Amino acid sequence: MLASCFAPTRTVALSSLRTFATQAPAASVLASKATEPSKKYKVVVVGAGPGGLSVSSTLSNMLGKDQVAIIDPADYHYYQPLWTYVGGGLKPFDESKRPMASLMPKNAEWIKDSVTAFDPENNTVSLRNGQSVGYDYLVVAAGIQINWDQIKGLKESLGKDGVTSNYDPNSVQKTYQFLQEFKGGNAVFTFPNTPLKCPGAPTKIAFLAEEIFRLNGVRDKSNVNYFHSGMRIYGIDHYAKVIEKLVDDRNLNVHLRHDLVEIQPDDHKAIFRNLETNELITQTYDFLHVSPPQGAPTFIKESPLADAAGFVDVNKSTLRHNKYKNVYSIGDCSNLPTGKTAAAIAGSTGVLKANLIADMQGKPAQKEYDGYASCPLVVGRKELILAEFSGYTGQPLETFPFDQRKINNMTQYMNKEIIPYMYWNGLLKGTWNGPSTFRKMMAPFAVQKN
């Protein structure tokens, strides 16, 4: 329930090509010989996103000063779930942004630098400035990397002449302007053939755009084309049929198993690869929203902590590393087989903290993560489908005692106005660990859902 599909980002510019903890150039990511750490901490947290701040807030409050360090180079922290509303003209961008310094736990030490390498055999983390930091316990919460360069022509096109993306802090501020300037023709939306933050996010902006076209009186002159790499536009069966019917009702043209590979801005052409036949097709556009390819951060992918896909290899129940037992990971950089969403971070942060604290005390794991994730699917200015589910089982894990597949104005208001307050004042401070307790309270009142 908490937050939206996006895990919030702390990137400050498209050129950084990453989200969360920045890495240095690839050459410096290679493992190096062990060096004596310049300083050692009980716990080192890599990444000051929602997972990193939640964990470090709780642990630094418990352990006191000089025991917990957070490594992150960013000047600002962005609450990216709000960017769907920014792109749809429903929220100002500045509501999504706060100085990183204002969010740091008072008892934690902020190391404002980038991680270049991990040495888990010697319990050290290397920094871009050449120093290394030692730890007794390591928490990796470094987010997901956006790989803008994987689409030819995207970087030079973004934010210009109708090409935009709600995944970039600069471009998202152009989305609504471009939608308002759209006078008809081809509006094109994409979904990449990679992992990404919130599989619902590309669908949300397509629905909001279609509504804007109706309100502006240009819908009858507009083709809304959604090129999606998947077999269906939403992967959880409990909600998929409802969303697919809505797509049909609003006449969105969905092209499944297509992946954007190139933009030709001078000709207003987008080139897609058919993932079944490998054929290239060309689609002209008058408006183009790109959901970019994403993947494991390079400095994790090239480290001993990574699995074959490059994400931190953890036990899906305990969030503890499968090889290095004093290492934990949370959020988008981990290989947890659930949605990469802020709600998943909220649902798992309590598990990680409980198990890490137990580990420090010489006790076994105390909690297990059930794969909870949520993607509040914005389908109109005042309309939302509140999808809550376990990514492990594919089954719904709904909080409220009504059928959350139905479009609801109340949950839209909650997601837009109330959840951001809970994020800034609860999750980041380590006091909100997801809706599981509230769900149990509501369970006796739940309606039967077929």
Strand segments, DSSP code E, in 304-382 are 327-329, 372-380
Which position has the token pair 């809550």?
Answer: 388
Residue 105 CA to residue 321 CA, distance in Å, equals 25
Active site residue 375: yes
Backbone Cα Rg of the chain: 21
DSSP string, 364-406: --------EEEEEEEEETTEEEEEEEETTT--B---SSS-TTS
DSSP string, 240-291: HHHHHHHHHHTT-EEEESEEEEEEEGGGTEEEEEETTT--EEEEE-SEEE--
Q: Answer yes or no: are the C-beta atoms of 383 and 407 closer than 8 Å.
A: yes
Q: Answer yes or no: are the C-beta atoms of 202 and 236 closer than 8 Å.
A: no
Choosing from 375, 377, 387, 422, the catalytic residue is 375
Residue 431 CA to residue 237 CA, distance in Å, equals 32
Residue 209 CA to residue 415 CA, distance in Å, equals 19
- CA angle, residues 306, 311, 316, in degrees to nearest 5: 100
Please name the residues in contact with 339: beta carbons below 8 A apart, sequence gap of 6 or more. 5, 198, 199, 373, 374, 375, 389, 391
Which position has the token pair 């089954």?
Answer: 395
Residue 101 CA to residue 112 CA, distance in Å, equals 10
Residue 182 CA to residue 175 CA, distance in Å, equals 11
DSSP string, 194-212: S--S-TTHHHHHHHHHHHH
| Lookup: tokens for 140 | 């990796």
Choosing from 111, 198, 254, 422, the catalytic residue is 198
How far, CA to CA in Å, does 145 sit from each of 7, 21, 33, 171? 12, 9, 26, 17
Residue 134 CA to residue 222 CA, distance in Å, equals 57
Cite the active site residues: 198, 375
